[in-house]
Amino acid sequence: MIAEQQTRGRGRYDHLWFSSDKGVQLSIILRPHINAARIAKLVMVAGIAASRAISSYGLNAQIKWSNDLLINEKKVGGILTEVEMDGEVEGCVVGIGININVSRDEFPEEIKDFATSISEELGKTISQEEFTCRLLNEFEVIYNRFRAEAYEEIMEEWRDRCATIGRLVRIRTVGNTFEGEAVGVDRDGSLILELPNGSLVKVVSGECTHL
């Protein structure tokens, strides 16, 4: 499902997501019939696909744990996955939003310094339809690897594309805030932090800020 315009885009924790008719907003509906532990890998599939599609224009697109897409440390897109459970995952909606031809002046004032678009980074506009085709083609390729249970390959590529690993970060979770070095990502998608005292903490979900 592809929207030409989205009026109330939603990110994680019900944060509003800036949407423009100069971006690509789409939802992919899947019936994977997998256990809940593998949902994080579906987020990885979407992240890799989007990163590949953006990089195909000669840009260095990276993934910020767990669901943001960056170019030069600025957010160019995001991913949101919602699931329907009945013992196992019966249905899954993978939402992907990418800023394609949005100019800096069109971003809300509060995010101008932190957001970007493909056209801003390239210095020229591109076809939104062509980008969508590239994104869906990449998603199909990687999702087929997921269905073939090539999980180690998926995780290895995701780690290679992750901008968070090796960085000092601040993670806000429900009731806690952690600061430390992101030293890895576990098989379930959890971020592994090394705290200043040398101890390791595994964070399943939270808001991540690069320091």
**What digits encode the pLDDT tens for the residues 134-191?**
999 999 999 999 999 999 999 999 999 999 999 999 999 998 999 999 999 998 899 9
Q: Catalogue all structural domains in the chain, each as residue range(s) with its CATH number.
A: 2-161 (3.30.930.10), 167-210 (2.30.30.100)
Residue 194 tokens read as 């090394």
Is residue 14 very low, low, confident or very high in pLDDT (cuts 50, 70, 90)?
A: low
Q: Give the sign of the dihedral formed by CA 145, CA 147, CA 153, CA 154.
A: positive
pLDDT above 90 for 128? yes
Collect all residues with Cβ–Cβ distance below 8 Å to 93 and sequence separation of at least 6: 27, 28, 29, 30, 81, 82, 83
CA distance 63 to 75: 9
The residue whose two tokens read 């953006």 is 54
Q: What percent of the chain has pLDDT over 90?
A: 79
For residues 112-133, average pLDDT: 98
Question: What would the mean pLDDT of 122-128 be, rounded to a whole number?
Answer: 98
Cα separations in angstroms, 44 against 77, 126, 176, 179: 14, 25, 25, 24
Q: What is the mean pLDDT of the chain?
A: 91
pLDDT of 18 reads: 72
135-149 residue pLDDT tens: 999 999 999 999 999
